[in-house]
Structure 1
Amino acid sequence: MITVNFCGAELEEFIVLSCFLFDLTIISSQYSSILTLSAAYHNQGCYRDKDKILTFLSYQRPGIFFSAIKRMRFTTSVQNKIAALLVIASIISGISTYAAFTETPPFGNDPNTVIWLLNLDLVLALMLVALIARRIVGLWSGRKRGIAGSHLHVRLVYIFSILAAVPAIVMTIFSAYFFHFGVQTWFSERVQTAVNEAQAVAEAYLKEHTQVIRADTLAMAYDLGRQAHIFIANDEALDKVLKTQSILRNLSEAIVIDEGGRVYARSGLTFSLELENVPLHMLERASTGEVVVMTSASDDRVRALVKLENFVDRYLFVGRLIDPQVLSHLASTKKATEEYLALRDRYSGLQITVTMMFVVVGMLLLACAIWFGLMLARQLVSPITGLIDTADRVRAGDLSARVDEKARLQEFEYLAKAFNRMTKQIQEQQNQLLETNRKLDRRRHFTETVLTGVSSGVLGVDEHGIITVANSSAYNLLSDKNEEMIGKEIASVLPDILELLDIANDRPDKVTQGELILLNSSKDRRIYLVRIAIEDVGDEEAGAILTFDDITDLQSAQRKAAWADVARRIAHEIKNPLTPIQLSAERLKRKYLKQIESDADIFEECTDTIIRHVSDIGRMVNEFSSFARMPEPRLKRENVEKQIRESLFLHKQAHPQINFNVKQYEELFAQMDEQQFRQVLTNLVQNAVDSIEMRAKEKPDLVGEVNVRLARYDEEQLYIIISDNGLGFPVEEDKANLIEPYITHKPKGTGLGLAIVKKIMDDHNGRIILGAPSWLAEKNVELTLDGAVVVLLLPIDSE
């Protein structure tokens, strides 16, 4: 531990020098040099090394600081300029504070100047702290917002702040500790004992002289007082005795005076007593009988004043010469003792004051150090932040972004150049890819244009079974317009096609063809002709091109044409012998029924059977003829509700046990062939009647009911709903097959009724729907019957 010794009254300057050493040690890298010089200075106990220390501090360290500031490249922002000015002002203020404490011109030892400079230090420190706090808050805010480089910036600031704060705190503690134990030697028990003993010796010496002269004065005054009656009238005798007493008592001077200062007797060299006026308060004290002891104005003798007894207004004033240096040392000792005691009483306050000085100046320079750390961290993070921001721009697609290659550190410059070379290469490659994509887009657009004009549906499937291409016809044939097929697996869109795909993959050099039955968006059964061609890409896995053609209508037309030809041939071959057979049977019945005596009823029954079956065969032939030679409809504007009621009238008459109901919401008209439309209604209502009768055989108490509902579908179409409570449609049968020719589930049906209805509705630009479509719920249509439901759609004639 360094022991501090002081020469004379050096405490104040020692404190100042310690503070300044502490200030500069925080931001200096030469701690050992400063501490070595300061220890040498204090250990020698005098100021002979003071010039070296001051020279080192005043010239070496400020030079380093200002050169560092000169090298630091502050940004052009106002905040950084203010901070730079504050840092410079802080350093200047610290040096000025030290100069004021050490009485260095131009400040001198002016307390007001020192206080003003300390306040300035505090204000500068607080301003720097405010700027630092604002910068740190900005950093934390940027970190919360996720700004590029903010985490690294905060971490560097944290590290630099710790590096700056730890030495400052350690130096503050050790400086306070150093000051405490350095000054403690002044107030040690040995020093206090020496001061007290010196004060006691001085007081004893002065007290001894005071008591001796007091005793001599009292004895001399007693002797003179006993002979007062002699000396009152004889001044010469008094003068003679006074001289004798002065010589006997070794008094250098003696005089008898009154209160006015008149001299009645003197001895020896008494001119000084006559020339010096006795203070009035001394005379007042002496008049009370007190022996007043005092020193002369020149501090070379001790004097005493006492009032003479048995005299009227007489005072004895005597003096004795003493060594002036003794009195001077006594006064110095007393003054030093008083100052020492006062300093001891103020030690706690002084320690707090010095500690606060350490804290203020330390905080000032600590703020400077932290600001330098912030600037250094910013210089380190700024290139990284720029690199991250540029990388984000590149990631967003701006390949023209470049990093500033001018950096203070060569490593950052190399990194920036490498990054710029990389982005330039990526940009060139992207431009090449964009050009290639533009060519591919032009080819794809041409292909899509070609595919758009193709009536067949076309799908492109990759090696993983994902749909990559789909033309508009494919959407029309296979999916809803709003349902996206591209990107989906072919298995999820067309699961029934996987078998054909497996066959096609087994023979990639040939085109695979097959039929596929699907339900379209309207739940109608459709037949598609599928062709699959596998792409040839060598040994790698390849995709496939699928084409779809809806051949439902084509097959239906082919079947109808074939059945129409068959029906025409059958009708032609059968119709010719039917008439002779029927006429012959009627003639036999008419001519021979009355002549036959035995088994006449059997004869009649046989002829009736022939006639009945011939009629049935004739009716069947007529249906064949109607189906084979359906005439072109002659359209004209008709009231739809009127046609419905006229058709139902005949059925009501023929089937009174069945309830026929018609619901109409408005009067609607349509272009139609009256005879053909009645045939449509007749066929559908007859099917409903047959279904009710078949169910009535199973349920005798059944009350048959047929409801017909007419309403508007939209602005262009109307719909007719025919529902019954019969057996309904066969569950196991596809409803689309029911409209095919010669498909029936009735015992005596021909299978041509619904086919004829379908043909007539097609000729009228209408549709027939077997079963209740989903849009009936949207129209708030409630079907109360549990049998079959048939819906007809016709265009409305609004004229």
Structure 2
Amino acid sequence: AIIDNTLEVAGAYLEEHGQIIRTDTVSMAKDLDDAAAGLKGDKRKFRELVFTQAALRDLPVAYIIGADRVVQVSAIENDKIPYEAPPPQLIDAANAGQVPLLMPTDTRYRIAALTPLKNYPGTYLYVARGVSPKVVRHVRRAEEGVAEYARLRQASGRLKFIHGLMYTMTALTALTSAIWVGLRFASGLVAPMRRLIAASQTVARGDLSVELPIYRGEGDLRRLSQNFNHMTRQLERQRSDLVNANGQLNERRRVMEAVLAGVSAGVLGLDPSGRITLANKSAETLLGRAQDSLVGKLLGEAVPEFGSLIGGGVDGGRRKPQPEVGVEVNGVERTFAVRLTREVQGEDDFGSVLTFDDVTDLVSAQRTSAWADIARRIAHEIKNPLTPIQLSAERLKRKYSHVIKEDREVFDKCTDTIIRQVGDVARMVDEFSSFARMPTAELAEMDLREAVRDPVTLFEHGQNIDLKLTQASEAIPMLADRRLLSQALTNLIKNACESVQAVLDSSDRPADFKGRVDVQVSRQGDTALIEIIDNGLGLPKQGRSRLLEPYVTTKGAKGTGLGLAIVQKIVESHGGTLVLDDAPVTAERSRGALVRISLPTHEPSVLQTGQPRRARVAS
């Protein structure tokens, strides 16, 4: 403690000198910074100010140095303290905002301090004050004494550690011997338990083939080992049975998934509450919905049209045919034939299976066939008496028109009405006949643009409707019946013009409305496209697909409903498709209809030889 106190007293002496010189340095630097404005760059006055400030603080040495540690101004009153450039780390510390000290060493008996001058950029105040060499030597001797004392104390601690280690080793040897004897005595008692614990851990990892050895003389532990072995053998057999059963179930599931994926009909699995648990790919495709929007939802929420089938379509697990159900898929109404099968055993309800198939085309074909038969019968039954009626009316008018003097105007009006109505009925019968007995398409190589140009020319004059034809610059060769194709296009352009005219004739049409029909002909790869776009009344959203069926019309009493049906037949006879859609909205068109015909193209072969190749394709 005395040696430590001696070292602390010597250190306190040097620390006190350092604190004093640091305080003097800071105050002198502040005075110099405050006087910077009055000096106005006068080096002589600045040097005098440095001398004055150093003298006021009894500083024997004061320097103004630059960042390169070169003296710019010096105030020296003691030649025994020559200038020594401060080390670079003192400059860095001063730039960091500190006031670093340079303490005395065995060869340097001074304490120095350094601080930057804020109003003299790039300059530093460096002051020093001498320290008695005796004090420095006493400090060094005190430090050496403390170091020697610490060395001797450390050596004493090592000897104590060696003695303690010897006693510890002796005690550990005795303790180890006692433990070894105890373990040898206890191993015979706990060995069976250890085997049982290890075996149970092996079973926990899933290995049921483990079996404990049976030793005589272990008493109850031997019986416990036998029971454990019996338990693991039973578990092994049960697990094998479960694995085999699970394999069979997985195989059946894979077969069922393959069957469901291969069938074209849609299949929905339902739980007893009517919630969808399974949907095959065909169901997603037919309904136009992703699996996420079907599985996990109630049938009435996912497909509202099927919701009414729950509860009324099954009796005792047997299938009953359901009526055809109409469902809107991607904006198009489709017709589905649906069957519902519920699995019920006693009071247990295991759910239902709903199967459905798209019969829209089949129903449309059946209706078309039925209407064609009706049209044939109507044309046959009505057309025969029309000619005698018309001839008789014309003969009456011709023979008795000059004889009848009284009510002559009524007579002429009645006979003209008979002749006109007979003509209207005859035209209607002709449409029935055209639909019932569609002529066979005479296919020949031709340029589609020529077949489109004729009906456009027919309607582009004599109307207050802007009819515009846009065609491809290159020929579009194909096999087609030009007469039938022109007939179909004439019907479609006529419908478009009538729809636009209906808007023009309406009282609520916009003041700046201009009727417009665009006919566009283009080619996309191996497909030719004909698009007829108008800004008329447009097509209804509900039942739009049924407009292609016979006797379905939006014109009321003005139409027979056979026009689009005939166009559909003509397009199908050419291997094409007919699509009804809404017209794209533009700045000039806010509504209207779009009819698109897609036809397969044909590369010209013998067209260049002047001998067209003809083929007959049944309609």
TM > 0.5 fold call: yes
Q: Aligned partners of 1:366 and 1:782: how far apart in 2?
A: 104
| Partners of 1:526 and 1:608 in 2: CA distance | 47
The share of aligned pairs that are identical, in percent, is 38
**What CA deviation, in whole Å up to 9, does each residue of 1:84-114 have, x standing for no partner?**
xxxxxxxxxxxxxxxxxxxxxxxxxxxxxxx
Q: Which position in structure 1 is the counterpart of 2:549?
A: 740
Q: CA 1:583/1:359 → structure 2, altered by over 3 Å: closer, same or farther?
A: farther
Alpha-carbon distance between aligned partners in 2 of 1:413 and 1:465, rounded to the nearest angstrom: 58
The separation in 1 between residues aligned to 2:209 and 2:582, in whole angstroms, is 64
Instruction: Give the 3-state SS of the residue equivalent to 2:272 in structure 1.
Output: coil
Checking the alignment, whether the CA contact within 8 Å between 2:275 and 2:296 is kept in structure 1 is yes
1:624 match: secondary structure: helix
Structure 2 counterpart of 1:794, from 579, 599, 618: 599
Shift of 1:590: 5.7
Q: Distance in 2 between matches of 1:509 and 1:703?
A: 63
**For the residues of structure 2 that align with 1:392 and 1:754, how far apart are their CA atoms?**
75
* CA shift for structure 1 position 466: 5.0
Aligned match of 1:431 = 240
| Distance in 2 (alpha carbons) for counterparts of 1:536 and 1:549 | 24
Instruction: Give CA-to-partner distance per residue, 1:300-347, whole Å, 9 cap, x none.
Output: xxxxxxxxxxxxxxxxxxxxxxxxxxxxxxxxxxxxxxxxxxxxxx99
Partner residue, 1:542: 350
Within 2, Cα distance between the matches of 1:659 and 1:719? Answer: 18
- TM-score normalised by structure 1 residue count: 0.45
The gaps in structure 1 that reach 5 residues or longer are 1-345, 377-381
Distance (whole Å) between structure 2 residues aligned to residue 593 and residue 611 of structure 1 = 15
Deviates more, 1:743-752 or 1:608-617: 608-617
Q: Superposed, which structure 2 residues align to 1:466-615 within 5 Å?
A: 467=276, 474=283, 476-479=285-288, 490-491=299-300, 493-504=302-313, 507-508=315-316, 510-519=318-327, 523-586=331-394, 606-615=414-423
Secondary structure of 1:682's counterpart equals: helix
Where does the alignment leave 5 or more consecutive residues of structure 2 unmatched?
1-150, 178-182, 184-193, 605-619
SS of the counterpart of 2:518? strand
After superposition, give the CA deviation of every residue in 1:581-600 in whole Å (9 maximum; x if it has no partner).
43444555566667777877
Provide the residue aligned with 1:750 in structure 2.
Answer: 560
The question of whether the paired residues in 1 share the 8 Å contact of 2:441 and 2:573 is answered with yes
Count the aligned residue pairs. Answer: 434
Q: 1:707 aligns with which of 498, 505, 518?
A: 518
Change in CA separation of 1:463 and 1:482 when aligned onto 2, cut-off 3 Å: closer
Change (3 A) 1:693 1:596: farther
The answer to whether structure 1 residue 766 and structure 2 residue 571 are counterparts is no
Q: CA deviation at 1:617?
A: 1.9
Mapping 1:616-695, distance limit 5 Å: 616-655=424-463, 657-664=465-472, 667-695=475-503
Quick one: distance in 1 between partners of 2:601 and 2:282?
Answer: 29
Q: 1:563 to 1:425 in 2, by over 3 A?
A: same
Work out which of the residue numbers 707, 729, 738 in structure 1 matches 2:539.
729
Report the counterpart of residue 38 of structure 1 in structure 2. Answer: none
Deviation at 1:635, TM superposition (A): 2.8
CA contact (8 A) 1:477 1:520 kept: no
The equivalent residue for 1:260 is none
Is the CA contact 1:500–1:512 (under 8 Å) kept in the aligned structure 2? no
2: CA distance between counterparts of 1:624 and 1:368? 120
Instruction: Give the residue type in structure 1 aligned to 2:579.
Output: I
Cα distance, 1:636–1:772 mapped onto 2, change above 3 Å: farther
In 1: Cα distance, 2:276 partner to 2:478 partner: 45
SS in 2 for 1:515: coil
- State the match for 2:504 in structure 1: 696
Equivalent residue of 1:431, what SS?
A: helix
Deviation of 1:685 after TM superposition, in Å, equals: 1.0
Counterpart amino acid of residue 323 in structure 2: E
Residue 360 and residue 477 in structure 1: after superposition, are their counterparts in 2 closer, same or farther (change >3 A)?
same
Q: Is the CA contact 2:491–2:567 (under 8 Å) kept in the aligned structure 1?
A: yes
After superposition, the Cα gap between the structure-2 partners of 1:730 and 1:351, relative to the gap in structure 1 and judged at 3 Å, is same
- Cα distance in 2, alignment partners of residues 727 and 636 from structure 1: 36
Q: Helix, strand or coil for the counterpart of 1:439?
A: helix
Q: Does 1:461 align with 2:266?
A: no
Alignment of 1:407-422 (within 5 A): none
- Evaluate the alpha carbon distance shift between residue 548 and residue 446 of structure 1 in structure 2; reply closer, same or farther with a 3 A threshold: same
Letter of the structure 2 residue corresponding to residue 580 of structure 1:
P
Checking the alignment, whether the CA contact within 8 Å between 1:666 and 1:711 is kept in structure 2 is: no
Aligned to 1:188: none
Q: Distance in 1 between matches of 2:276 and 2:227?
A: 42
Displacement, 1:366?
Answer: 12
Deviation of 1:648 after TM superposition, in Å, equals: 0.9
- Deviations 1:415-436 (Å, cap 9, x if unpaired)? 9999998776555434322322
Deviations along 1:688-747, whole A, 9 cap, x unmatched? 01101111012376322111223345x44333221101111135x321222222121214
* One-letter code aligned to 1:568: R
Change (3 A) 1:618 1:702: farther
Q: Which residue of 1 aligns with 2:9?
A: none
Instruction: Give the CA RMSD over aligned residues.
Output: 5.0
More helix by share: 1
Q: How does 1:228-247 map to 2 (within 5 A)?
A: none
Residue aligned with 2:531, SS: strand
Superposition deviation, residue 764 in structure 1: 2.7
**CA 1:458–1:364: 2 relative to 1, 3 Å:** same
AA of the residue aligned to 2:564: L
Partners of 2:157 and 2:461 in 1: CA distance: 126
Judged with a 3 Å threshold, the aligned counterparts in structure 2 of structure 1 residues 359 and 615 are, in CA distance, closer, same or farther, namely farther
The amino acid that maps onto 1:740 is: E
Deviation string for 1:622-678 (max 9, x for gaps)? 111111111332333332222111221111135364323324375433333222222
**Alpha-carbon distance in structure 2 between the residues aligned to 1:783 and 1:388:** 83
Q: CA deviation at 1:768?
A: 1.7
Q: Would the aligned equivalents of 1:711 and 1:718 in 2 still touch at CA under 8 Å?
A: yes
2: distance between equivalents of 1:511 and 1:537? Answer: 15
Provide closer, same or farther for how the CA distance between residues 629 and 364 of structure 1 changes in structure 2, counting only shifts above 3 A: farther
Q: CA separation in 1, counterparts of 2:472 and 2:443?
A: 23
Q: In the alignment, is the contact (CA less than 8 A) between 2:196 and 2:212 conserved in 1?
A: no
User: What is the CA-CA distance between 1:749 and the residue it aligns to?
Assistant: 0.5
In structure 2, C-alpha distance between the alignment counterparts of 1:349 and 1:437, rounded to whole Å: 75
Instruction: Tell me: CA distance 1:730–1:392, structure 2 relative to 1, closer, same or farther (3 Å).
Output: same
Cα 1:602/1:689, change in 2 over 3 Å: farther
**8 Å CA contact 2:209, 2:233 repeated in 1:** no
| Counterpart in the other structure of 1:224 | none
Q: What secondary structure does 1:790 align onto?
A: strand
Equivalent AA in structure 2 for residue 503 of structure 1: G
Displacement of 1:771 in angstroms is 1.0
1:421 to 1:577, Cα distance in 2 relative to 1, 3 A: same
Instruction: Check the 8 A contact 2:476/2:601 in 1, yes or no.
Output: yes
Partner secondary structure for residue 575 of structure 2? coil
> Whole-Å Cα distance in 1 between the matches of residues 159 and 240 of structure 2?
72
